[in-house]
A = this chain, B = another copy of it.
Amino acid sequence: MDLAYTEAEEEFRGRLREWLAGVLPSLPPKPSPDDWPARRAYDTTWQRMLYDAGYAGLHWPEDAGGRGATPTQHLIFLEETERAGAPYVGANFVGLLHAGPTVAAEGTAEQRARWLPPVLRGDEIWCQGFSEPDAGSDLAALRTRAVRDGDDYVVSGSKIWTSHAEVADWCELLVRTDPEAPKHRGISWLAMPMDAPGITVRPLRTLAGSTEFAEVFLDEVRVPVRNRVGAENDGWRVTMVTLSFERGTAFVGEVVACRRTLEALAAEARRNGRWDDPVLRRRLGRLNAEFRALWRLTQANVSESERTGGVPGIGGSVFKLRYSGVRQDLYEAAAEVLGGVDAFDLDREWTLDRLSSLSYTIAAGTSQIQRNIVAERILGLPKGR
Residues of A within 8 A of B (CB): 277-279, 282, 384-385
Contact = CB atoms under 8 A, between A and B. Distances in A.
Contacts of A384: 385
Contacts of A279: 278-279, 282
Copies of this chain, how many? 2
A369 to B, nearest CB: 14
A385 B372 CA distance: 13
Nearest to A384: B385
A274 to B, nearest CB: 13
Contacts of A278: 277-279
Nearest to A278: B278
7 contacts: A277-B278, A278-B278, A278-B279, A279-B279, A279-B282, A384-B385, A385-B385
A282 B277 CA distance: 12
A273 to B, nearest CB: 15
A294 B282 CA distance: 29
A307 B278 CA distance: 47
Nearest to A277: B278
Contacts of A282: 279
A278 B274 CA distance: 14
Contacts of A277: 278
The 5 A-B residue pairs whose C-beta atoms are closest, nearest first, are A385-B385, A278-B278, A279-B279, A278-B279, A279-B282
A280 to B, nearest CB: 10
| Among A277, A278, A282, A385: residue with most chain B CB under 10 A | A278
A285 to B, nearest CB: 11
A87 B224 CA distance: 84
A138 to B, nearest CB: 14
A333 to B, nearest CB: 15
A376 to B, nearest CB: 14
A384 B384 CA distance: 10
A385 B385 CA distance: 4
A366 to B, nearest CB: 16
| Among A277, A279, A384: residue with most chain B CB under 10 A | A279
A282 B279 CA distance: 9
Contacts of A385: 384-385
A45 B279 CA distance: 50
Nearest to A282: B279
A334 to B, nearest CB: 20
A261 B360 CA distance: 40
A385 to B, nearest CB: 5
A347 B123 CA distance: 75
A96 to B, nearest CB: 39
A207 B385 CA distance: 31
A82 B278 CA distance: 37
A314 to B, nearest CB: 25
A80 B278 CA distance: 39
A208 to B, nearest CB: 30
A282 B283 CA distance: 14
A286 to B, nearest CB: 11
A295 B385 CA distance: 36
